[in-house]
Structure 1
């Protein structure tokens, strides 16, 4: 396995946010992390990249416990795209994406041709190369999100974590970004709200509710009408799409 989470728990103050979750992601596969607001999705992603400290349990990248991996190595290996990220510094789009190369460069290392190549590739992948010299602050919310994904790709990670990466994107770019991520060939965990997008682009799904893992597996076994009703509080009809062959959910009026 590329990422293994074993009985991990996390507490904030007196509140148990992540409660004994265990899951695993195979190398090169995409796991969709689903659940209502407050279910623990974002906290779990932060635990995996060691931005939060677990109360108990173990997280492994390959065979390595993340607690034994140096900060520098972890930064080279795992890229994390958050829901929102902002700065008051006047940076161009290219400047932001160049930051993705930081973990691969020592204090004395000069900028290399390979760094430029990685940055150019990342910008092209998210369709932002023609905006490279534009100030980041002048971009729309969706464009900023695409730039942050490009920064993560420039990092050349072996594991990529994305927290609601499509929240600020129009429909075309939601499909473009998730299609891109699904074809990267690296291990990805994507926290999503849209169940249909998760079913379309993820190899497997994990559903959280109130900090606990309540279902995991292929979309057609996880996204049942019963589970959608219990966890998300909505009535749904689940069928297989005649267009893409994946599970498709239609929501019923109350």
Structure 2
């Protein structure tokens, strides 16, 4: 497995946020992390990339306990894309993506051909190379998110974590972002709210409720009418989509 979470718990103050969570992601696959607001999705992602400290349990990347990996190595290995990142500094798209090379360079290191290749390749993969000299502030929300992903890809990570990457985007950009992530071939965990998008683009799903995993497996196994009612509090009808072949969820009025 590329990422394994084994009975991990995390408490903030007196509140148990993540409670004995276990899950795993195979190399090159995409895991969708689902759950209501406050279920622990964002906290779990931060535990995996060590922005939060695990209080019990073990997280491994490949064969290595994440707690034993140096900060420098972890920064080179794991890329984290948050919901939104803003800056008042006048930066171009190229400037933002170049920041992804920081973990690979010493304090006074010269820019290398490897750096140049990684940045150009990242911009190509998100279809933003022609916008490289455009200022960040002039981009749409969807374009900014693609640049964030390009910055992450410039790190040349082996694991990619994304926290609600489609939040506040219109449907076109939601589809574009998740289609892009699903084709990267990088081990990825994506926290999502939209169950239909998760079913379309994720290889497997894990559902959190009150900090615990209540279901995990393929989209077809996880997204049942019973689970959606219990966890999300809504009635649903599920059928196989004739378009993409994955399960499609229709929400019903009570």
Segment drifting more, 161-170 vs 223-232:
161-170
User: Does residue 1:132 correspond to 2:132, yes or no?
Assistant: yes
Quick check: 1:182 aligned with 2:182? yes
In structure 2, what is the Cα distance between the partners aligned to 1:168 and 1:133? Answer: 25
Structure 2 equivalent of residue 119 of structure 1: 119
1:118, distance to aligned residue in structure 2 (A): 1.6
Match of 2:208 in 1: 208
Per the alignment, in what secondary structure is the counterpart of residue 28 of structure 2?
Answer: coil
TM-aligned CA deviation for residue 191 of structure 1: 0.3
**Equivalent-residue separation in structure 2 for 1:243 and 1:139 (angstroms):** 32
Give the equivalent residue in structure 2 for 1:229.
Answer: 229
Structure 2: distance between partners of 1:58 and 1:237: 37
Report the equivalent of 2:194: 194
1:15 maps onto 2:20 in alignment:
no
Q: Secondary structure at the match of 1:244?
A: coil
TM-score (norm 1): 0.97
> Structure 1 residue 105: deviation in Å?
1.3
Flag structure 2 segments of 5+ consecutive residues without an equivalent: none
CA distance in 2, matches of 1:176, 1:121: 18
CA contact (8 A) 1:145 1:168 kept: no
CA distance in 2, matches of 1:132, 1:19: 43
Deviations 1:90-149 (A, max 9, x none): 211110000001111122421112212221221222222222112212223222211111
Q: Is the 8 A contact 1:205 1:222 kept in 2?
A: yes
RMSD, matched Cα: 1.1
**Correspondence for 2:28:** 28
Partner of 1:133, secondary structure, is coil
| Offset, 1:88 | 2.2
CA distance in 1, matches of 2:169, 2:132: 19
Distance 1:141 1:185 in 2: 24
Pairing of 1:5-154 with structure 2 (within 5 A): 5-154=5-154
String of CA shifts for 1:139-165, please: whole Å, max 9, x gaps. Answer: 232222111111001111000000011
Query: What is the deviation of 1:185?
Result: 1.3
Q: Which runs of 5+ in 1 are unaligned?
A: none
1:20 and 1:60 map into 2 onto residues whose CA distance is 15
